[in-house]
Amino acid sequence: MNPINRITSVLLASLLLISCGSRDTGEQATQKKSESELFMRKLSQFCGEKITGKAEVLNEDLTMQEKEVVFYFSKCTDNEIRMTIETTEPEKTTIILTMVEKELLLKHDVKTHDMIPAEFTMYGGFADHSGDENRQFFPVHNFGGTMWPGFENYSWEMGFLEEENRFYYKERNDDLVTRQFTLTLPAL
Q: pLDDT, tens digit, for every residue of 28-42?
A: 544 544 799 999 999
Ranges under pLDDT 70 in the chain: 1-33, 62, 142-149, 188
The verdict on residue 86 lying in a domain is: yes
CA distance 83 to 50: 9
User: Residue 103 sits in a domain of what CATH number?
Assistant: 2.40.128.20
What pTM does this model have? 0.76
3-class SS at 5?
Answer: helix
Q: What is the pLDDT of residues 105-114, one digit of tens each?
A: 999 999 988 8
The total number of structural domains that make up the chain: 1
User: According to the model, what pLDDT value does residue 70 have?
Assistant: 93
Question: Which regions of the chain does DSSP assign to beta strands (E)?
Answer: 50-58, 64-76, 80-86, 92-100, 103-111, 123-126, 135-139, 154-161, 166-173, 176-184
Q: What domain range is 80 assigned to?
A: 41-184
